[in-house]
Structure 1
Amino acid sequence: MRHHVLTTIAGYLATRHRSHPLRVGVDGICGVGKSTFARELRAALAETGRPVVLVDSDGFHHVRERRYRQGRDSARGYYEDAYDFDALVTDVLVPLGPGGSRVYARRVHDMATDEVVVGDTAPCPPDAVVLFDATFLQRDALRAHWDEVVYLHADVETATGRGVARDAARLGGPEKARAAFAGRYTAACRIYLDEQRPRERASIVVDHNDPDRPFVERMPG
């Protein structure tokens, strides 16, 4: 069932042609499984013969000082300051959009060193499908720059449980991970859901409550 969903979406995206690379956001709340889905979608697209580029969202965070300027536990701070979406627009989505240079930034930040990265660019084939996965991709300033958005939907409690299990070691154990999600990550996602209604606005919606048995809720055509 998962393979069918991935190949169905890949087949649809492979038929979508613009005068520029097709800019596709893979959106969803924390813990829903965006990164894994995006990697598997890249593989499914490659099988169609269409060029595909996956831009790693880890390279588009703000520096630590900016990320935590509203406090390490702030939900609003995570929602507003975690990602450098201005750089995503100016250095990736606009160059890959209508009339753009097709030279995009592969990253603007190094998470390991917390250093700003300048000049790490690459050319993009004009007919490529470009994938970028992250939370909050349908905030106001970003929406006009996506050609398609795949939204992975899961109940907040289900996604949070997966996120806690995934990040427990990184966050200092299950209890600390649950506290971090409750106070910062899941809380930020609730802000996003309330303010932006991403499930309603996405062009493609996938029910991802069970990653082994997802299904397409909505897709054009």
Structure 2
Amino acid sequence: MRYEAITWDKLAEALAGHVDASAPGDGGAWLKVGIDGPPAAPGAELAAALAEALRARGRPVHLAGTDGFLRPASLRYEYGKQDPDAYYGGWTDTGALWREVFGPLEPGGTGRVLPDLWDPAKDRATRSPYVTLPPGGVLVLHGPFLLGHWFPFDLAVHLRLSPAALARRTEEPWTLPAFARYETEVDPAGTADVVVRADDPRHPAWTGLGR
């Protein structure tokens, strides 16, 4: 895989330009972008920069993270607080994401999405009000393991860390087997439309668009 050096700002601008150009001319559909990567990668920061660049182009944006759609602690920690298999497949409420985020953005949908569902710190529902993303708007969703659920992304970006960099920068080392499993089962670098090498967050590199 061939990479070219780029800055995070230029990356966000390039992605925003591609998404804006891909939108239908009648503004009658929603586009969905996934920023996939482990917590050790700056996925949330890239997603925020992309959202800002899209808004500067006049695109309404709904920015969301999977950390707002975690399951209750009783389900996440059913097999202990440090079970990598549960972390991989049981922490995120993917059903809620389909129902509350992706479903309303399907053709003929209402555009009425839920910003988040569960507060993991307080371990209770957030009770956030629904927001409406106008037709022609863009969903930007960030989080780990996004590419293993068949979410209907129009553009999928994977932030890749080498095993050594991931081990060095991961604050919760017990999660590392989950990311190894993700590599084996999903091959995110081979699945994504764009891959960003983020071993050194100061010097990202990417594969470009249309690879």
TM-score (norm 1): 0.84
Stretches of structure 2 lacking an aligned partner (at least 5 in a row)? 1-6
Kindly report which structure 2 residues correspond to 1:34-183, keeping only aligned pairs within 5 A, or say none: 34-117=43-126, 120-139=129-148, 142-164=149-171, 180-181=172-173, 183=174
Q: Note closer, same or farther for the CA distance 1:138–1:200 as it changes in structure 2 (3 Å cut).
A: same
> SS of the counterpart of 1:15?
helix
Aligned counterpart, 2:180: 190
Instruction: Give structure 1 regions of 4+ aligned residues with deviation exceeding 3 angstroms.
Output: none
Q: Which amino acid aligns with 2:184?
A: D
Stretches of structure 1 lacking an aligned partner (at least 5 in a row)? 165-179
Residue 204, structure 1, aligned to residue 194, structure 2? yes
Cα distance in 2 between the residues matched to 1:186 and 1:77? 12
Aligned counterpart, 2:4: none
Q: Which amino acid aligns with 2:168?
A: G
Q: Tell me the number of residue pairs that the alignment of Structure 1 and Structure 2 aligns.
A: 202
Shift of 1:212: 2.2
> SS of the counterpart of 1:151?
strand
Cα distance in 2 between the residues matched to 1:34 and 1:144? 17
Contact map agreement 2:60 2:133 (CA 8 A) in 1: no
Q: Which amino acid aligns with 1:216?
A: W
Q: Which amino acid aligns with 1:70?
A: Y
Shift of 1:99: 2.0
> SS of the counterpart of 2:89?
helix
Identity %: 27
Shift of 1:117: 4.2
Residue 20, structure 1, aligned to residue 29, structure 2? yes
RMSD over aligned CA atoms reads: 1.8
Higher helix share: 1
TM-score (norm 2): 0.88
Shift of 1:144: 4.4
